Structure 1
Amino acid sequence: MLTAQEAAELSRQLVDGEVLLQTKMWGETNDRADISQGQLMGAALAQIYAVGITEFSDTRESAFDQAEMEFFPADWGGFRDYGSDIANLVVAAAYLRNEIKRRLMNGESSHRAPRRADQVFDGSCVPNPIA
């Protein structure tokens, strides 16, 4: 078992490593993606969806087949199960990070709106034990 700090550091390293792999394959600006079609977002959603539905599918393979049909860019190849839920989430996170980078390069705002007055955090979900 890892501590929260160790897990945070390892997750950062895993995503950084996957981003480097994607950059080596498709270039610094991800030349694979058709940005007008939201392909980076679709690829990330496919990986996340596959992980999310594996427990409800007949087989892990059928979950990935369904996710590919629903979200993965039709003109891309290579959608697959990377062997573990963590590995699949890392791949999704790398796609999302590249999508964020693309949007920042495009001049989109990174402003994060604060909570409204009627959205006060009430602590009802605390404690949230790690299970």
Structure 2
Amino acid sequence: MRNITKLVAGAGLAAGSLLTLTVGATAAQASEAPVTKAAGMTVAGGTYQGCPYGAVCIYPQDKGWNNGQPSNVYWAYGAHKLYNQVGNHFVFNNQSGGAGVWLCKGSGGTDCPSYLGAYVYTNYNLTPINSVNLTR
């Protein structure tokens, strides 16, 4: 199972709260996921941890948020090759609405086992990942 954390507003939560969901968890496990306030996050739609609104950001290996300094920032829809990204990295989708990002094994945005919706981040092992594919 993998934890995915989503920045949320509404649903009875304060703007900028974090909702952590465990992929592969039962409904009971998911409902018990911790909810915490993200430091410095006031509303969805702004820069968060150095990731500009509308972008997808990858942070350096094993550095968490790296003091708000992402190593990779992607703005354009479509597939983008990854180079020298191994081990665990925070990946944050700071796009809006229905815009998502696929983490793909193929270098051209194919064979994509993981998807992150808008305002979602995860700590992900990028060793088998060779591209990210930003979608609407």
TM-score (norm 2): 0.25
Report which structure shows greater RCO (CA 8 Å, sep ≥6): 1
Of Structure 1 and Structure 2, which has the larger fraction of its residues in helix? Answer: 1
Larger radius of gyration: 1
